[in-house]
Structure 1
Amino acid sequence: MMKILLLTALAVSTSVEGFQTGVSIRTGNFGGFPMSWTSQKKSCTTLSMSTNANEIVPLKPGSFVALVTPFNPENGEVDIPALRTLLQFHLESGTDGLCILGTTGEASTLSMKERELVLKIAVEMVKGKIPILVGTGTINPMHVKEMTLQAMDLGCDASLVVTPYYVKPPQRGLVKHFVDAADLGLPVMIYNVPGRTGVDCKPESIALCAEHENIVAVKEATGDLTRLDQIRQLTTANKLLLYSGDDSTEAEFVLRGGDGCVSVTANVAPKAMHELMMAALRGDKDEVNRINTSLSKLHEDIFCEANPIPAKWAMQRIGKINSAYCRPPMDQLDPQFEGLVEEALSAAGLI
């Protein structure tokens, strides 16, 4: 059985939704459920501990690609050769980090066995070169646990945990959800994307979560740049890494003090996205404007339909995957949008 990290209980006084919220780090249970899942690991990991004899690679500033998962259209299975090609493409293009099995990776359609296959290949090819961030968030806390333990056992570096969608929990429920995930031992990046989930994790709640040593980063996808300032002010002592999850505003996000992005655009333009983030991190506004001007249409039109439909079409168009096939309930790009995405690729100098 997984040995849960033993920590002194944390007590914080920030008020969320009228409740004086204490964040406690527990042992022996998860999300109010008894511990029943098993793990190959005998102890959990932190940023300074090792996983499968390999050191955790801490998250770092820069461009993380929200990687698509390529599928074989004939049988719907994961296209392993294409996945390997994509991973090599990002290593050669300067991508600063890998975000795998997230929204763009159609993670909700993959079985645990398929996740294991994808993660083993990612660890084999990327481990120790760039950080491996894995989407392990879902609506069910026990599934979060199962996927997080799997990612930890396989040697991944951090988990991306999205706010629970559809059920719209209160802020105190969000805090508990993220703290429970962090208790498992793998570093956590909170993913706040209210446009998809229907719930917004407020800066005050993020500040509460930041008291946990394993909550190390936030992916903020509201597109509201003032969120960066609010979170920074509330978490100055915790040094959270803050990443934009909105391609259209990510450059300004980093110029204002953010640490990087988790980008869909980076699937098709990884080198440019790396260069954009490096320019923004050093405050080179002229270079940021130059690069972002070429990417601005792509940032917009890669979302002309639900993600990752246009991204996969664009990747097939530039020859990086064999098929733009998306698993149901997603579909293929509506032909009326093909010209739009093609123009965006041309403007970015990719075709």
Structure 2
Amino acid sequence: MSVTELGPIEITAAVLREAGAPLRLERATLGAPRPDEVRVRIVATGVCHTDMVVRDQLFPTPMPIVLGHEGAGVVEAVGASVTTIEPGDHVVMTYMSCGLCLPCETGHPAHCSHMHPLNFGGSRLDGSTSTCGCEDNTPIHDHFFGQSSFSTYVVANERNVVKVPKSAPLELLGPLGCGIQTGAGSVLKAMKVEAGASFVAFGAGAVGLAAVMAAKVAGATTIIAVDVTPSRLALALELGATHVINSREEDPVQRVREITSGGANYSLECSGRAQVLRQAIDAITTLGTCGIVGATKMGTEAAFNINDVMIPGKRIMGIVQGDVVANAFIPTLVNLYLQGRFPFDKLCRFYSFDQVNEAMADSESGVTIKPILRMPVSADQA
């Protein structure tokens, strides 16, 4: 079916209209895809910490806006210039990049020069949107991470849509597009943790636990998870951690140094807390690497001992989306999952779409590590 024949459609989207306010399910109109875009019927979408960061405007975006950036669904229509995706394909959506800047051209699209406007600007790069309110026909900001998947249907770009096998459980796969990819990619692609290395994740949420699983895949022989929630630490042991540290009960830096006889080869700061970043830096050994993935309020600064970084040759690395090329990396994670080597499903709990605010609250309170919203199924899709 052609894009022209399909035309605009009516959708249901969870809309943020005020900073910190609950999201509201609203009827809206979604325009047809442009030549380089696709329209996707969302099956399920993950809820990520970044959704809450933007809801509270710690990362400012224009409003009203449709959030959601871990969507998985079925392609319904493709633009005239799309060549890699066809109607009927099962896809996971990920971050958006321009494809033309130096980072993109050199294999680092997650560090695209246009990362902020493409993913947090609330529109395409030219300022246009696809979504309008049904009642007043006023534009609603969308294209959050190139998708805005807190919606029953989305328009995304061919660049940020990744085809996945139909044999994989589609409703489970959305988190691979951001949170899970970030943790696993940081270990396997950005820091390149090697077999026999020691690794510590500061924070055992979705990103940290994905990193723990990836460190096991990489062959790290000492894998440490640091958190304050006993249930998450227990799960970390189940997923591959060799040691866990409750930082409310003991000094994590001192304990990491004891476990590793001087410091870890690699650490990953996943909490978004400046004081924890200092711990992650202090916990690594000579020539060790500390990766930073935890999202913080804009303008947040951190302190560390310069000589304790310079003299032992420590490296501090900022990482976005695991520094992965998603079209290659997400299928790898799917294959690892299907082989039983990357059981990220143990982090997940499903919610209905109308429970979006409950899912966010459960994520923030720690009740659920990775909430996934299931979209309603109409009679012709059942």
Fold agreement, TM-score > 0.5: no
Would you tell me which structure has more helix in proportion to its own residues?
A: 1
Q: Which has the larger radius of gyration?
A: 2
Would you tell me which structure has more strand in proportion to its own residues?
A: 2
